[in-house]
Structure 1
Amino acid sequence: MIRLAKDKDLDAIMKIYETARKYMEETGNPSQWGKNHPPKELLEEDIKKEQLYVFTAEDGILHGVFAFIIGADPIYAYIEDGKWLNDKEYGTIHRIAGDGAVKGVFDNCLAFCRDQISNLRIDTHHDNSTMQHLIGKNGFRRCGIVYMEDGSPRIAYQYCLEDK
């Protein structure tokens, strides 16, 4: 089940991100989120803006978290080494993470987002082979390179239901 995150979920959300950062480091991707990304303040802001979601399995425990924002994302205004598939309104998936205890966090997140809008964008670090695999196997197409606020590059992908 996917639902909006609440303030009371913050401790569990922080633990999920801690687990994800450890996994990323163990699998050769120590720099994408470093030691403290995303910061608690950003997550609190996401909750206030009602753009942070959690995934709970049948056990009722939080197992995944992601931000989902419909509308233009400034990070995606400039893309190099490629181009977006279209200029239609899109939803962006950011900061997706799971605790590793259950399968299907990404698939459930994606199904939820596809139900909201048929045009999706996502990006990931070049060292994040796990996410690249998940993105690719779910019909996203690699579009180019975008840059985060700190200037670090990310591989950018887009999914369009109309293309399926």
Structure 2
Amino acid sequence: MILRPTKIEDISRVIDIINQAKTYFKNNDIDQWQDGYPNEETIEKDIENNEAYVLEEDGVILGTCMVTIHGEPAYNRIEGKWILNCPYICVHRIAVDNEYKGKGLASTILDQVVAMYPDYHSVRMDTHHDNLSMQSFLTKYGFKYCGEITLKSGALRRAYEKRI
């Protein structure tokens, strides 16, 4: 299994996985990704910025994420406190195909993301208040809840950090 940069020809598969996540959120009354975001334009921008990745095995895309080391503006102000005050890896829009859920692929994605940046000592993520499955995953993976951040839209998110 490899985490590789997303290519333009991967976009329809990535959107399929994201749409599965949107359906899961809707069916579980989680008001996340219900406003048209993320969409093809989002993924195209991530590709242009070299920040889009897919987890692939035997030519099949199993999951997707966005990774940046250029900071997340929403993380500059937190109601709480980050663990470390240093450059960090930021992961957004992590999603796994429904057919492959429960096989530890989100952990595989994060393991490979962290391995890409051996000089970094922190990884940060955020999630919706109602996304209990992601909160549980982050805790099991060793992230610590640090506080609340506010997105550009004004929406609040739970912020997590892991020392690596």
Confirm whether residue 106 of structure 1 aligns to residue 106 of structure 2. yes
Q: Which residue of 2 aligns with 1:2?
A: 3
Q: Secondary structure at the match of 2:9?
A: helix
Q: In structure 2, what is the equivalent of residue 53 of structure 1?
A: 53
Alignment of 1:1-164 (within 5 A): 1-29=2-30, 31-57=31-57, 59-80=58-79, 82-102=80-100, 103-115=103-115, 116=117, 117-161=120-164
Show CA shifts across 1:7-57 (max 9, x none): 00001111011111111122231x111052202111101001110000113
Alignment deviations for residues 86-110 of structure 1 (CA, whole Å, 9 cap, x no partner): 1111010001111121122211111
Q: Structure 1 regions of 5+ residues with no counterpart?
A: none
Equivalent pair of 1:70/1:89 in contact (CA under 8 Å)? yes
Q: How far apart are residue 73 of structure 1 and its match?
A: 1.2
The 2-side partners of 1:28 and 1:110 are apart by: 26
Amino acid at match of 2:66: A
- Partner SS, residue 143 of structure 1: strand
Q: Does the CA-based 8 Å contact 1:28-1:128 persist in structure 2? A: no
Moved over 2 A (4+): none
Q: d(CA) in 1 for partners of 2:24 and 2:35?
A: 12
What's the secondary structure of 1:101's corresponding residue?
A: helix
Gaps of 5+ in 2: none
Rounded to whole Å, the distance in 2 between the matches of 1:97 and 1:128 is 13
Q: 2: distance between equivalents of 1:2 and 1:86?
A: 26
Identity of aligned residues (%): 34
Q: Secondary structure at the match of 2:99?
A: coil
TM-score under structure 2 length normalisation: 0.92
Residues in 2 aligned to 1:14 and 1:35: alpha-carbon distance in whole angstroms = 14
Deviations 1:71-126 (A, max 9, x none): 3210100001x100111110100011111211222111110122123310000000
| Greater mean deviation of Cα atoms: 63-72 or 3-12 | 63-72
> How many residue pairs get matched?
158
Is residue 21–residue 35 contact of structure 1 (8 Å, CA) maintained in 2?
no
Distance in 2 between residues matched to 1:120 and 1:154, nearest whole Å: 16
What is the root-mean-square deviation of aligned Cα atoms in Å? 1.1
Report the TM-score when normalising by structure 1.
0.92
